[in-house]
Every structure is written in C-alpha cells, then in structure tokens.
Amino acid sequence: MKIGIVGATGEVGRAMIKVLEERGHDFGELEFFSSENSAGTTLKFNSRSVKVKKLTKEAMKEGFDYLLFSAGKEVSKKFAPIAASCGATVIDNSSAFRMNSDVPLVVPEINANVLKGYHGIVANPNCSTIQLVLALNPLHVLYKLKRIIVTTMQAVSGSGRKGINELESEIINDSEPMVYSRKIAYNCIPQIGPFLENGFSEEEMKMVNETRKIMNCDCDVEATTVRVPVIYGHSESVYVEFEKSFNLDGVKRAFKNAPAVKVWKDYPTALEVVGNDFSHVGRIRISHNGKALIFWNVADNIRVGAATNAVKILEYFLK
C-alpha cells in the first residue's frame, strides 16, 4: 500500500504523522510532500527518516492508494483531481471540495456510511465544524435539531504556523499585524476569512453549510466566529433548540454515550484539551425559558478539527 501526505511540514501535516504513529499505523510506502520551500527536509515516522519531496503533478500520478492533503485550497484544487484521476483516494483538509454535491463531507462518527464503495476525493470538514457536530449529532438523533446559534473563539493555529508566529511576534516585539486585520495579541478579532455579501464571514458560512450537510439536517444555523490569542484549542458557546422535548439528564446521557465526546463536571478550557481527540463539553444548562440547551464546547483544533478526523476517514477505508 502506498500512502502520501501533502503539506507534511505544516501544522496539520505534522499532526497527521503523529496521529498515524499513535494509532499504530505503518505502511510499506509512505511519502511526504511540501512546497519547494520545505522540500528536502527530513521528518520522522515510526523511527525512520522520510525525506520530504517537492509536490509536483507527476508525483500525484505515481500510484498512490491514499493521499492526505493539508496544503490549502489552491493546492488541493490543482493537485487532488490529478491524484484522484489516477486511482488514489484523496482525503482533503481544505475547503476546496466540501460543498461539492458529489464529494462526501465526512465525520466518521456521524456519516461514514456515505463512504461505502466510494473512491475519489473525500472532504475533511472545517475545524470548528467537526467539534460542534460531534457534540450535536447524538442530540440530533434523539431530539431533532431545530436551531443552532454558535459563537466560536478560535486559536491562531487555525491559520497555520504563520498565525502562531504572528501572535508570538506581537507579544515579544510588538510587531504590526500581517496575517490578521488587527493585532491579535491581547485582542479578539470577530472576523475569520473575508466578509461575504450577506455580512457573514467565510468561516461563519462554512459552519452553517457544513453542519447541515454532515448531519443531513435542514435546521437553522447562525454563527459568529472570533479569532482569539490562544495557540491551540477552539472554544465554542452553543445554543440549541430542538423539535422534540428534552431534559438535562437525557442530554448528559447522550453526551456520555457519544463515541468522541467527553463531559466535564464544570468546564474544559483550551489549555486542558490540547493533544487529545475528544470534543469536550461543559457548562451544560437549559435556557431561562426552558426552550433551549446551552453548553460550552472545546477541542484541539489541529487534531480533532483536522488531523485525527482525516486519519479516521483513512481508517474506514483501510478496514
């Protein structure tokens, strides 16, 4: 079996390598790809050294069984179709194909069934969406979602290494912003991605559209996404209304029985969830009018929101 990781030297690419190791995987052939700037560096996988190659169209034609992509939307648009046309199954972490009607958008705990018999490009959802739907889906099964209002507080690692570097540079050197529209150090920026004609940001509409597609749900979704000076870990305040009646005990039981959700007696924080693969929930309560559920949701955005989900998709095919 021949496996490749495109964008192997980035934040998510390195996390993919680590998650594959942690989950006990090894492959007869494994290749790492990056841009010309990072090509030639060496990364470790299961104690062996793998030299990173420059990504080219020709390389995508070299008989890969599976390719994990995490190199950005434009790279995926250019190279993923080539690999898929040559027989590879591509698991793409960018937003390039997520809303294509013929491309599965998958969180394995929720809708792995859409992958049965499938070959081609599979889309890995947005980081803030994955942790949200992992928590919401068990409730949707029981009570049927009617309305979701979510406000996110998203770490700078969601922008990759350049986001981390910008935060650190502003703290140490009081440098001017290059990645974000305002200084991120000691600040909150209510914009992730460009603003669209409807007044919402690109990130907000990703959450709206992807949540509906993954859960096959026509519920109302409203999102406000905020970049905060945290390195790893996205936090979300979630307000949910259901079609059916619900109670707090039933909600907590559903959370506890969900395969990738961890319930806290009080609440999780970003610092406490880094490095694990759960969507954490806390501050679970019913609204004053008794009509809605409110909870706090935190997850490691690089793992839960990207690398681990991609590896779980790969594992579905390997089984």
Q: How many CA atoms lie within 13 A of 84 on its CB side?
A: 20
25 is catalytic: no
Q: What is the pTM of this model?
A: 0.97
pLDDT the model gives residue 16: 98
pLDDT the model gives residue 233: 98
Give the pLDDT confidence of 212-258 residue by residue, as tens digits: 999 999 999 999 999 999 999 999 999 999 999 999 999 999 999 99
Mean pLDDT of all residues in 254-272: 98
Domains and CATH numbers, the chain: 2-124+306-318 (3.40.50.720), 128-301 (3.30.360.10)
The rounded distance, in Å, linking the Cα atoms of 127 and 147 is 20
Task: Write out the two tokens for 67.
Answer: 């390719």
pLDDT the model gives residue 109: 98
Mean pLDDT of all residues in 118-146: 98
The rounded distance, in Å, linking the Cα atoms of 7 and 223 is 29
Give the pLDDT confidence of 273-314 residue by residue, as tens digits: 999 999 999 999 999 999 999 999 999 999 999 999 999 999
234 is catalytic: yes
Q: Mean pLDDT for the chain?
A: 97
pLDDT the model gives residue 242: 98
Q: Residue 22 contacts by C-beta under 8 Å, 6 or more apart in sequence?
A: none
- Kindly indicate the confidence band of residue 209, based on its pLDDT and cuts at 50, 70 and 90: very high
What stretch of H or E contains 139?
A: helix 127-143
Give the pLDDT confidence of 154-199 residue by residue, as tens digits: 999 999 999 999 999 999 999 999 999 999 999 999 999 999 999 9
Active-site residue identified among 140, 217, 219, 234: 234
Q: Residue 294 contacts by C-beta under 8 Å, 6 or more apart in sequence?
A: 237, 238, 239, 240, 283, 284, 285, 286, 287
Contact criterion met (CB below 8 Å) for 307 and 281: no
Contact criterion met (CB below 8 Å) for 317 and 67: no
pLDDT the model gives residue 3: 98
Mean pLDDT of all residues in 110-139: 98
pLDDT the model gives residue 85: 98
pLDDT the model gives residue 273: 98
Active-site residue identified among 127, 217, 219, 280: 127
- Kindly indicate the confidence band of residue 20, based on its pLDDT and cuts at 50, 70 and 90: very high
The rounded distance, in Å, linking the Cα atoms of 291 and 246 is 9
| Cα–Cα distances in angstroms (integers) from residue 127 to residues 5, 58, 61, 95, 152, in the given order | 18, 30, 29, 11, 11
pLDDT the model gives residue 117: 95
DSSP one-letter string for 153-207 = EE-GGGG-HHHHHHHHHHHHH-PPPSSSSS--TT--BS-SS-B-TTS-BHHHHHH
